[in-house]
Structure 1
Amino acid sequence: MPKINGNEIRPGNVLEHNDGLWAAVKVEHVKPGKGGAFAQVEMKNLRNGSKLNERFRSADKVERVRLEQKDMQFLYETDGMLVFMDTETYDQVELPADILGDRRPFLQDGMTIVVEFYESEALNATLPQKVTCQVTETEPVVKGQTAANSFKPAILDNGVKVMVPPFIAQDEMIVVNTETMEYSERA
């Protein structure tokens, strides 16, 4: 595996550190008045979810890990575990439901998502960037309300609240960006 310098760490990099696999969540480069510069890295353990703040100087060498990505289909949820299936080999993989965090409501039956593996161990799952949802509840359309940047609250079929433009009506299908959890466009 390639070793990188401490100042080359970027958010999203997966590092092998302290006998564990860690994802860099936030990286801040600090240049103090006295002493050498360093990278302050907030990391999250991919196996147990614990967090760690670590300083890396540019001379420090860190092991960067490449994760294999596979498209897998979501089957069902059981006892707090999400079950995914490889569409080519039909192998099934279980991941804890809290791995998706607050994006969990956007996971739909049969949805294809990307699961990241280290050797044969499933570590992480990411949803597609855009998901289509139905608006179940929102205020009615008001004629003449065309002011710039005016949004109204809407509740989607999965229970998530998002802000939508005034022209979106109830029972309409919209596309939501799962990274920002915001309205993107009409479906």
Structure 2
Amino acid sequence: MAKVIASQLRKGNVVEIDEKLYVILRAENFHPGKGTPVTQIDMRRISDGVKVSDRWKTTDSVERAHVEQSEFQFLYADGEGYHFMNPETYEQVAVAEDVVGDSKVWLQDGMLCHLAVHNEVAIALDLPQKVTVEIVETEPVVKGQTASSSYKPAMADNGVRVMVPPHIGVGTRVVVNTEDATYVERAKD
């Protein structure tokens, strides 16, 4: 365990408070004109998944838990959870559904992800920033509709709704940002 000051906490860090582990979901520092600067933290308790918000002075010290960050390859999902494999050691890890959370729609066979492991238990999953998906449903292209600012709704093969430019049709592979499901570009494959 290492002590750090609250202003150094970032998304994905794991801290220990009252002998319980929490993963940081959001950390924001506020510096008001008058008064003490504070750090607002949104975190999830790892043991039961409860979300908690807390506020500390930026100089308060917090116990940061030792967590191994390793790259794992997604294999498959079943009743036991989501299965990942370390590509170097071939060690497999089953990750609970509450750890994967909303990220499950982006998981693809063979995808490389970063897993945070504490005491041989996966506690946090970090996806690649961008993934490639195929458009399976969208409105047809309207002739003359070339304004670059106009977007149309489309459904990706993983079930996520994405706003795409008018020239994107069914069967087109596109790159999407996993954090907010926004269109990035047409896939180059």
TM-score by length of 1: 0.87
Q: CA deviation at 1:136?
A: 0.6
3-state DSSP of counterpart to 1:101: helix
Distance of 1:131 and 1:142 partners within structure 2 = 27
Q: CA deviation at 1:167?
A: 0.6
Contact 1:47 1:123 in 2 (8 A): no
Distance of 2:102 and 2:141 partners within structure 1 = 29
Contact 1:81 1:94 in 2 (8 A): yes
Distance of 2:84 and 2:168 partners within structure 1 = 33
Which position in structure 1 is the counterpart of 2:40?
40
Q: CA deviation at 1:51?
A: 1.6
Distance of 1:142 and 1:20 partners within structure 2 = 56
Distance of 1:50 and 1:108 partners within structure 2 = 27
Distance of 1:55 and 1:64 partners within structure 2 = 16
CA gap of 1:44–1:167, structure 2 versus 1, over 3 A, is: same
CA gap of 1:59–1:109, structure 2 versus 1, over 3 A, is: closer
Q: CA deviation at 1:118?
A: 2.2
Contact 2:2 2:64 in 1 (8 A): yes
Aligned partner of 1:75: which letter?
Answer: L
Q: Are positions 1:149 and 2:149 aligned together?
A: yes
Which position in structure 2 is the counterpart of 1:169?
169
Distance of 1:93 and 1:146 partners within structure 2 = 48
TM-score by length of 2: 0.86
Bigger shift: 163-172 or 98-107? 98-107
Contact 2:23 2:124 in 1 (8 A): no
- Structure 1 unaligned regions, length at least 5: none
Q: CA deviation at 1:178?
A: 0.6
